[in-house]
Chains A and B, each alone.
Chain A
Amino acid sequence: MTWLNRDVISSLDFNREDLMQLFNEAQEMENYAKSKLNILDGKIMATAFFEPSTRTRLSFEAAMLRLGGRVLGFGSVEASSVAKGESLGDTIRMLDSYSDVIVIRHSLEGAAKYAADIATVPVINAGDGTQNHPTQAMLDAYTIWREYGRIDDLTIGILGDLRYARVVTSLIQLLSNFKVKLRLISPEILKPRRELLDFMNMRGMSYSLHLNLNEVLSELDVLYVVRIQRERFPDPVEYERVKGSFKVSPESLIGVKDTLIVLHPLPRVDEVDHRLDSTRYAKYFKQSALGVPLRMALLKLILKGD
């Protein structure tokens, strides 16, 4: 399927061929991530961030500006006043008439799909609800591909909140296009939902569930860490008991493969120890920096075509 004018709502909308095209384009864009191309001159990207996310918003804006386009939009503070007066549908209709592409972030599930139902211009989901953050998943997979030159045949551990962290569902859906082994490590109450387990089964994915990182540490090629929020635990005592097991430090990585890479969608709180930053495993800052060329590639493919 051609990329031109395509919505980016869910990882499920993209197959392996689409992703390889995106990754090759992103690698090309790495050459321009600190300079300027004028291929989107005259185009306007609207950002509608109903929920704060400085990192994602700025990387979209940087990508658009590097491509020679312009940016308008609002963040969560203005959004709260927008939301008071107007339905999401009406806000999207307004942005649709002002721009060539809409980037939306929203706390409600399905908000981006709904925006895409309404808008005539392409809509990019920059995170909605608790299950979709497809461009982050594309960035994560792209980072793995850049580090290893492939995604197939890797063993990928995902550690933390596998139930509510929106990037987890998107990443697993995206990885279903590749031949990977997944090791999913979480506290009991933050295990993946039945919907996600069924998805992995239906796609014939290779995965296993674990309560303890040590069970799988030595076989991992990639360790992807997501934050566990205290609020997810009905019992604070239980949170205190398990939280240490889901933090990664130089000490907790004893016995890993030399080639292991540690990724994190950022921002982090304390689930990845700062002392890890200077080790060869830490690739999360590189991952974050690749967000600009990846999103440049995305915007170019959607607004200019293949």
Chain B
Amino acid sequence: MSSKVQERDLIVSKIRDGIVIDHIPAGRALIVLRVLKLRGGEGRIALVMNADSRRLGRKDIVKIEGKELSEGELNLLSLIAPTATINIIRDYSVVKKFQVKLPETVKGVVKCRNPKCITNQPREDVVPTFKVLHLDQPILQCQYCGTYLTIDDINAQLAGER
């Protein structure tokens, strides 16, 4: 068996019910798990990193079995993996396929970078909420203090978080 075939087996080995997130930019799979708040106790999760991709050269793939995620939650991936495509699997077949798109608001995934913002006060119970602005590239604006959070800020924050 060639290595090519082995790799294909690894990638397409099927899950019964769940979600396959394909076309993740190479190296981002772990950040994808963070954005989706998957900590490992949710059931079977498969990560494929640095798979061949005609579109991207190299890509990551994440498969999540037996867990429901809303389209809103999945669209948050557009911030860190704009090329990602989502396949919803039911009884071994793809029942829905879509490309992630930017949501209008982002709630509770990332923190505001302004230390004087009310959302950064540990004593207060407030969920950081951002509006997505479409400037020359998308940017998040804190709905409490107006401060911008760039895609780079988001990546740095999610990569640094444990």
Contacts and interface: CB of A to CB of B under 8 A. Distances in A.
A176 interface: no
Interface string B74-105: 00000000000000000000000000000000
A88 interface: yes
B157 interface: no
A113 B141 contact: no
A110 B145 contact: yes
Interface stretch (B8-16, B35-43, B57-65, B121-129): B121-129
The interface residues of chain B, by DSSP majority, are classed as loop
Interface string A94-136: 0000000000000111110110010000000000011100000
Contacts of B123: 87-88
B116 interface: yes
A129 B124 contact: no
A60 to B, nearest CB: 21
B147 interface: yes
B138 interface: no
Interface in B106-138: 114, 116-119, 121, 123-126, 133, 135
B126 A109 contact: no
A108 B117 contact: yes
Contact of B144 (A87, A107, A113, A198): A113
B124 A89 contact: yes
A198 B145 contact: no
B148 A194 contact: yes
Given A88-B124, A198-B133, A109 B141 contact: no
A201 to B, nearest CB: 9
Nearest to B126: A114
B119 A110 contact: yes
Given A89-B124, A114-B126, A129 B145 contact: yes
A111 B118 contact: yes
Contact of A195 (B118, B121, B124, B148): B148
B27 interface: no
B72 interface: no
A194 B135 CA distance: 12
A108 B118 contact: yes
Nearest to B147: A195
B50 interface: no
A141 to B, nearest CB: 20
Given A87-B124, A89-B125, A114-B118, A109 B144 contact: yes
B133 A131 contact: no
Contact of A114 (B133, B135, B141, B144): B144
Interface in A4-29: none
A109 B145 contact: yes
Contacts of A195: 141, 146-148
Interface string A77-96: 00000000001110000000
Contacts of A129: 116-117, 145
Interface in B139-154: 141-148
B114 A109 contact: yes
Nearest to A87: B123
Contacts of A114: 118, 124, 126, 144
Contacts of B114: 109
Nearest to B144: A110
12 contacts: A88-B124, A89-B124, A109-B116, A110-B118, A110-B143, A111-B118, A113-B144, A114-B118, A129-B117, A130-B116, A131-B145, A169-B146
Interface of B: 114, 116-119, 121, 123-126, 133, 135, 141-148
Given A108-B121, A129-B117, A194-B148, 11 more contacts: A88-B123, A89-B124, A109-B116, A109-B146, A110-B142, A110-B145, A114-B118, A114-B126, A114-B144, A131-B146, A195-B148
The 9 closest A-B pairs by CB, nearest first: A110-B144, A109-B145, A110-B118, A87-B123, A114-B118, A109-B117, A110-B145, A108-B118, A111-B118
